[in-house]
C-alpha cells in the first residue's frame, strides 16, 4: 500500500489518545489553561462524571477572535514566546490540548478579552465537533473563557468503551480539582455535578494553604501533620506531611507539586516511601501535601504527554534531600501521635444509639464512591481509604479490672509540674492487663502499649548499633544445624556477607543444610530457623539496600522483643517510668514497628467530652 500523510483530524485523534485519557484529563487541561490565563475563579459543571458533559468557566484574560481560531489548532500555543522548551513558566506549552479534545468530542468555546477593541460589547464563540470547525460567531459574554465539552469520545467509539462508571470518573475528576485547588490556594474553585455542589472553596482565601488543606483533606490531617520548610540555593521544599500513625491504604493521598504542577512522579513517590518506611506498617501509605519549587531550567516537564511525570536534572540529590527532610521531621516529632486516635478513643467510649456498631469509629473509610451524591459545599473534606489502626477501648464487662491487675500510684500534686517540663509522657500511675501503662501530665492522659513501645525502642537501639558497627555477636558453643530446601540454602549462602554484618555467620553443611556459627548477642536463646527464614523472604523480595537492611533489623527486633522482659509482664512504677523515659528519648517511637501507635493521648478536654462536661 502506498504511504500517505495522515489526515489532520486523524493526527489530532491519535494525539488525543495520549493527552486525553478520560474526563479527568480534559479537566486537567482546561484548568491549566484557565490558570495560565490568570483566572481567579474556576467554575466546573459536570454531568455523568464528565462523560457526557463538562464545562470550565474562568474569569481570566480571554482570547481575541483570531486567537480563538488558532487555539483549537494543533501545535498552536501562546506559551513559548522565545522558542525555549527548557524555560517553561506556564502550565501548558504543547499547544495540543484544545485540538485533541475537540477532535474527539463536541467543544464550544466562548471567550471575551476585556480591552480588545473588537470585543467591546460582546465575545466570540467557536464550535468544533469531531475536529470539524464551524465559523466563529459573536455572542453576548461577560469576561474570561467558557469551554464546554460534550460527548467525550463520541468520535472515537473504541475509546468510549474504556470510560468507567460515573462514580469512578467523578472521583478521578474530583482528585484533579483537589490537587489544583491545593496548588493554588488563592484561587476559587467550585464543582457542580448533576446539579449538586460538591466542592466550593472560599472565594477570597486569605489564610492560604492551611485553610485550603483544612477544606480538602479535613481538619484531622491539619492537626496530624508536621510542617516542612526547606530553602536552599536551587530548591525549596515545603508543605505538610502526616505523622506516621495517620496513613492511607493507597498512595493517592500524596499531593505532590513541582513548581505548582500536580505530579505523580515515581522518583518522588519512592522518596516518600523510603522516608516513611521505618515508621509505617506494610501496605500503608504516607499522606502529604508537598511543594517542590525548582528553577524551571533544572526540571524537564516534557517527558510525559499529560505532564504527570517530570525529570529532574539533579534527581539523586533531590531524592536524598526529600528523604532526609522528611525522615528528620518525623524523628523530631517523635512523641506526636495523630489526633484522630484520640477522637477514636473518645468515640469508642461515648454512648451511642446502636451500640456495637464498630464501623462507626472508622469515620474515614467511607465506601466508594466518595463523591457521588455527596453535598460538599462548605463542609470540610472527608478522607477516603483511611482506616484507624487503633482498637477502640471499650468497657465491656470482661474488661473490668480486678484490683490486683492494677498497680496503683498516688500522685502527689506537687510533683507533677517539674516532671512535666522534662517528660512529655508524664508520670506513670498504673498498669492495665500487664500490657498497658497509664500515665498523666497536668492536662493529658496517656495509654501506652508497653509491648509495642518496647519493641520499637529495641529496634531503634539495634539500628543505632548496626549502623555504628557496634552490634555485638556471640559465637555459639555448639553450632546449630538447620535444614532448608537447597534453593533457600543457596540463597542464604549467597548473602553470607550481608548476614555477617548482622553478626550472623553461616556456612554450608551437607547438601541441604546450613551451619550457624555465630548470632547477634540478642538471639542467643532464640530459635534461629524462623529468623533466618524471615530474613530469607526479605532477601528474596528485594536487592540489598538501606531499606532492606532496616527491614531485616525490624524483624530481628520484633523477634528479640518476644524474649524481652517487657513482653506481657507486670511492671512496677519505676520500671514503667523508665520505659516512658526511653520512649521520649528514642526518636520515632510514637508508633511501633508495625506502624501501630505506641501510645494514645487523651487531653483533659477529651475526657470532659466523655462525661459530657464540655
Contact positions toward Mg ion, by CB under 5 A?
A: 33, 92, 97
Report the residue from 13, 55, 77, 444 that binds ligand ADP according to the rule CB under 6 A: 77
Choose between 77 and 598: whose C-beta lies nearer to ligand ADP: 77
In the bound complex, what is the minimum distance in angstroms from residue 96's beta carbon to ligand ADP? 6
Q: Which residues inside 381-440 make contact with ligand ADP, applying CB under 6 A?
A: none
- Residue 155 contacts residue 105 (beta carbons within 8 Å): yes
Told to check if 98 binds ligand ADP by CB under 6 A, we report: yes
Q: Nearest to residue 99, comparing CAs of 190, 26, 171?
A: 26
305 binds ligand ADP (CB under 6 A): no
Distance between CA atoms of 60 and 40, rounded to whole angstroms? 7
Strand-pairing partners, residue 56, are 44, 147
* Closest separation in Å from C-beta 18 to ligand ADP: 13
Least distance between Mg ion and beta carbon 74 (Å): 12
Nearest CB to ligand ADP, comparing residues 34 and 444: 34
Sheet containing 513-520, strands listed edge to edge, beginning at the edge strand earlier in sequence:
473-483, 513-520, 505-509
Shortest Cβ 68–ligand ADP spacing (Å): 8
Q: Which residue's Cβ has the minimum distance to ligand ADP?
A: 92
Q: Could you tell me the strand order of the sheet in which 436-440 lies? A: 427-432, 436-440, 444-449, 599-603
Site for ligand ADP contains 590 (CB under 6 A): no
Number of Cβ within 10 Å of residue 49's Cβ equals: 27
Q: Please choose which of ligand ADP, Mg ion, none residue 60 contacts, taking the beta carbon within 5 to 8 angstroms, the exact cut-off set by kind.
A: ligand ADP
Which residue from 43, 65, 97, 256 is in contact with ligand ADP, where contact means CB under 6 A? Answer: 97
Which of 557, 525, 343 is closest to 461 using CA atoms?
Answer: 557
Residue list 141-180, contact with ligand ADP (CB under 6 A)? 145
Minimum distance of Mg ion from residue 195's CB (angstroms): 28
Neighbours of 122 (CB within 10 A): 13
Using an 8 Å Cβ cutoff, are 99 and 15 in contact?
yes
Chosen residue from 11, 31, 61, 532 binding ligand ADP by CB under 6 A: 61
Three-state SS string over 255-278 comes to EEEECCEEECCHHHHHHHHHHHCC
Site for ligand ADP contains 93 (CB under 6 A)? yes
Distances (CA, A) of 535 to 129, 271, 438, 504, 546: 60, 24, 35, 11, 14
Q: Which of the choices ligand ADP, Mg ion, none does residue 362 contact, using the CB cut-off of 5 to 8 A by kind?
A: none
User: Smallest gap, in angstroms, from Cβ of residue 144 to ligand ADP?
Assistant: 7
* Residue 244 binding target from ligand ADP, Mg ion, none, CB below 5 to 8 Å by type: none
**Interaction between residue 217 and ligand ADP (CB under 6 A):** no
What share of residues in the chain are helix, strand, coil (percent, to 5)? 40, 20, 40
Stretch touching ligand ADP by CB under 6 A, among 20-28, 61-69, 128-136, 186-194: 61-69
CA atoms within 13 A on the CB side of 270: 9
How many residues interact with ligand ADP (rule CB under 6 A)?
A: 24
Longest alpha-carbon distance in the chain: 97
Decide whether 19 or 579 has the Cβ nearer to ligand ADP: 19
- Nearest distance, CB of residue 90 and ligand ADP, angstroms: 7
Residue 61 binding target from Mg ion, ligand ADP, none, CB below 5 to 8 Å by type: ligand ADP
409 CB neighbour count, 10 Å cutoff: 16
Q: CB under 8 Å to 159, separation ≥6 — which residues?
A: 17, 104, 153
Q: Which of 11, 45, 54, 58 binds ligand ADP (CB under 6 A)?
A: 58
Residues 21-40 binding ligand ADP (CB under 6 A) are: 29, 33-34, 37
Which parts of this chain interact with ligand ADP (CB under 6 A)? 29, 33-34, 37, 58, 60-63, 67, 71, 76-79, 92-99, 145
Amino acid at each position: 500500500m502506498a504511504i500517505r500523510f495522515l489526515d489532520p483530524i486523524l493526527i489530532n485523534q491519535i494525539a488525543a489518545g495520549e493527552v486525553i485519557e478520560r474526563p479527568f484529563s480534559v479537566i486537567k487541561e482546561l484548568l491549566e489553561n484557565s490558570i495560565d490565563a490568570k483566572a481567579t475563579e474556576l467554575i466546573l459543571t459536570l454531568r455523568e462524571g464528565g462523560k457526557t458533559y463538562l464545562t470550565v468557566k474562568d474569569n481570566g484574560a480571554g482570547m481575541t477572535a483570531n486567537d480563538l481560531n488558532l487555539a483549537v489548532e494543533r501545535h498552536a500555543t501562546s506559551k513559548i514566546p522565545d522558542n525555549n522548551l527548557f524555560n517553561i513558566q506556564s502550565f501548558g506549552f504543547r499547544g495540543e490540548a484544545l485540538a485533541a479534545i475537540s477532535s474527539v468530542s463536541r467543544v464550544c468555546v466562548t471567550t471575551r478579552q476585556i480591552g480588545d477593541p473588537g470585543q467591546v460589547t460582546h465575545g466570540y464563540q467557536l464550535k468544533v465537533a469531531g475536529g470539524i470547525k464551524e465559523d466563529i460567531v459573536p455572542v453576548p459574554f461577560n469576561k474570561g473563557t467558557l469551554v464546554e465539552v460534550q460527548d467525550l469520545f463520541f468520535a472515537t467509539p473504541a475509546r468510549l468503551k474504556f470510560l468507567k462508571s460515573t462514580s469512578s470518573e467523578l472521583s478521578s475528576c474530583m482528585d484533579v480539582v483537589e490537587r489544583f485547588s491545593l496548588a493554588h490556594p488563592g484561587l476559587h474553585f467550585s464543582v457542580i455535578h448533576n446539579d449538586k455542589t460538591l466542592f466550593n472553596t472560599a472565594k477570597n482565601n486569605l489564610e492560604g494553604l492551611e485553610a485550603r488543606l483544612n477544606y480538602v483533606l479535613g481538619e484531622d490531617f491539619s492537626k496530624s501533620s508536621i510542617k516542612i520548610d526547606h530553602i536552599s540555593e536551587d530548591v525549596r521544599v515545603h508543605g505538610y506531611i502526616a505523622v506516621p500513625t495517620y496513613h492511607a491504604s493507597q498512595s493517592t493521598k500524596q499531593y505532590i507539586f513541582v513548581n505548582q504542577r500536580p505530579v505523580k512522579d515515581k522518583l518522588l513517590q519512592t522518596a516518600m516511601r523510603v522516608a516513611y518506611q521505618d515508621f509505617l506498617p506494610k501496605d500503608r501509605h504516607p499522606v502529604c501535601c508537598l511543594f517542590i519549587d525548582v528553577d524551571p531550567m533544572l526540571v524537564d516537564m516534557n517527558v510525559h504527554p499529560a505532564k504527570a511525570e517530570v525529570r529532574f536534572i539533579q534527581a539523586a540529590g533531590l531524592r536524598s534531600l526529600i528523604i532526609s527532610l522528611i525522615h528528620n521531621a518525623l524523628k523530631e516529632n517523635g512523641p506526636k501521635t495523630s489526633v484522630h486516635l484520640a477522637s477514636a478513643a473518645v468515640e469508642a467510649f461515648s454512648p451511642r444509639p446502636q451500640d456495637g456498631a464498630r464501623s462507626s469509629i472508622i469515620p474515614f473509610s467511607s465506601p466508594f464512591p466518595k463523591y457521588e451524591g455527596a453535598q460538599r459545599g462548605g463542609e470540610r473534606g472527608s478522607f477516603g481509604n483511611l482506616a484507624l489502626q487503633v482498637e477502640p477501648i471499650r468497657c465491656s464487662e470482661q474488661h473490668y479490672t480486678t484490683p490486683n491487675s492494677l498497680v496503683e500510684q498516688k500522685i502527689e500534686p506537687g510533683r507533677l509540674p517539674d516532671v512535666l517540663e522534662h517528660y512529655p509522657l508524664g508520670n506513670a500511675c498504673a498498669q492495665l492487663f500487664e500490657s498497658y501503662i497509664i500515665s498523666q501530665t497536668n492536662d493529658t492522659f496517656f495509654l501506652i502499649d508497653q509491648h509495642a513501645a518496647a519493641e520499637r525502642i529495641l529496634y531503634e537501639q539495634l539500628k543505632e548499633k548496626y549502623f555504628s558497627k557496634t552490634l555485638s555477636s556471640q559465637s555459639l558453643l555448639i553450632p546449630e544445624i538447620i535444614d532448608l530446601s537447597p534453593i533457600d540454602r543457596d540463597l542464604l549462602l549467597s548473602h553470607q556477607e550481608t548476614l555477617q554484618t548482622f553478626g550472623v555467620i553461616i556456612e554450608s553443611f551437607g547438601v541441604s543444610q546450613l551451619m550457624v556459627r555465630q548470632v547477634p548477642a540478642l538471639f542467643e536463646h532464640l530459635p534461629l530457623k524462623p529468623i533466618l527464614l524471615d530474613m530469607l523472604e526479605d532477601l528474596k523480595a528485594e536487592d540489598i539496600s538501606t531499606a532492606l537492611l532496616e527491614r531485616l533489623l525490624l524483624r530481628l527486633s520484633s523477634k528479640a522483643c518476644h524474649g524481652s522482659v517487657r513482653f506481657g509482664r507486670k511492671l512496677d512504677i519505676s520500671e514503667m517510668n523508665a520505659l516512658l523515659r526511653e520512649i521520649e528519648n528514642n526518636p520515632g517511637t510514637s508508633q511501633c514497628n508495625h506502624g501501630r501507635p505506641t501510645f494514645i493521648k487523651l487531653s483533659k478536654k477529651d475526657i470532659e467530652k466523655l462525661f459530657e462536661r464540655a
